[in-house]
Amino acid sequence: MKKIRELEGLLSLPSPVNISVWWNLGSMLGLMLSLQILTGVLLSLHYTADMWNTFNSIMHIMRDVPGGWFLRTFHANGASMFFLVMYLHMGRGIYYQSFLTNHRTWLVGVSIFLMSMATAFLGYVLPWGQMSYWGATVITNLFSAVPYFGESLVSWIWGGFSVNQATLNRFYTFHFLLPFLVSIMSMLHLVYLHDKGSSNPLGNLSHTSKIPFHPYFTWKDMVGFANMLLFILLVVFFYPNLF
């Protein structure tokens, strides 16, 4: 059977022999992003973006949809896990000064971080409870600090003179679309990363002490996946309101 050249190139990617467990976080983020998109799409099949029925649709998902409670709690706690791993991933990059060796990778990563924060805020509003209404009002009002046309900008975001149905519609639309844009940016992140290669604790860019990515680091990543999923499932099943 003929090998797929791109897959072979990915698996045989020369990787520094001395990268530690801190370099597992990127693949863990990719897994969490995939799971968030999957659970989000399944939740959207039962979600209603209507001011009067949104909260009831959340209760319907929790009580009536088979496995709906799991989807909702996994999606909510998965978002917290996603950001926890992301902050650790960024912290590793700052500590080992990855921004000095992989400039384009770092800039794309910052863009992913900003889009992820926007996505999380939009999703926080969607259950349309009391805190959702407060959050949408307070955060969007920050745009009123923009000189000259700040207040008009806030009204434009709201779609009226207060948070209303139009606000909920556009928040839901962008919360659904942005994760796919984040996934595209993640692919670009990988392209730039593979262009120069992964950093390492010593900051050594030499290609003399490298080994193939597979099977060494694929199995190492699998261990990270297992530990992360074990933790998130423990939270979902036993402490769903922990975060």
Would you say the C-alpha torsion 26, 27, 33, 39 has a positive or negative sign?
negative
What is the pLDDT at residue 216? 83
pLDDT confidence tier of residue 6, bands split at 50, 70 and 90: low
Task: Map tokens 């990617």 to a residue.
Answer: 13
Q: Which of 3-7, 44-48, 200-204 has the lowest mean pLDDT?
A: 3-7
What is the pLDDT at residue 9? 59
pLDDT confidence tier of residue 209, bands split at 50, 70 and 90: confident
Q: Which of 3-12, 22-31, 216-225 has the lowest mean pLDDT?
A: 3-12
Domain boundaries, the chain: 23-126+165-201+210-238
Q: Whole-number mean pLDDT of the chain?
A: 91
Nearest in space to 200 (alpha carbons), one of 114, 87, 80, 93? 93
Q: Which tops the pLDDT comparison, 199 or 158?
A: 158
Which residues on neighbouring strands pair with residue 16, listed in sequence order?
210
The tokens of 242 are what? 């922990």
The tokens of 77 are what? 């706690």
The tokens of 222 are what? 């699998």
Give tens-digit pLDDT for 132-181: 888 999 999 999 999 999 999 999 999 999 999 999 999 999 999 999 99
Give tens-digit pLDDT for 30-69: 999 999 999 999 999 999 999 999 999 999 999 999 999 9
Q: Over 60: is that where the pLDDT of 3 sits?
A: no
Give tens-digit pLDDT for 111-121: 999 999 999 99
What is the pLDDT at residue 242? 87
The tokens of 162 are what? 């207060």
Calpha distance 133→161 (Å, rounded): 14
What is the pLDDT at residue 1? 46
CATH class of segment(s) 23-126+165-201+210-238: mainly alpha
The three-state (H, E, C) secondary structure of the chain, written as one string: CCCCHHHHHHHCCEEECCCCHHHHHHHHHHHHHHHHHHHHHHHHCCCCCCCCCHHHHHHHHHHCCCCHHHHHHHHHHHHHHHHHHHHHHHHHHHHCCHHHHCHHHHHHHHHHHHHHHHHHHHHHHCCCCHHHHHHHHHHHHHHHHCCCCHHHHHHHHHCCCCCCHHHHHHHHHHHHHHHHHHHHHHHHHHHHHHHHCCCCCCCCCCCCCEEECCCHHHHHHHHHHHHHHHHHHHHHHHCCCCC
217: Cα separation from own chain's centroid: 22
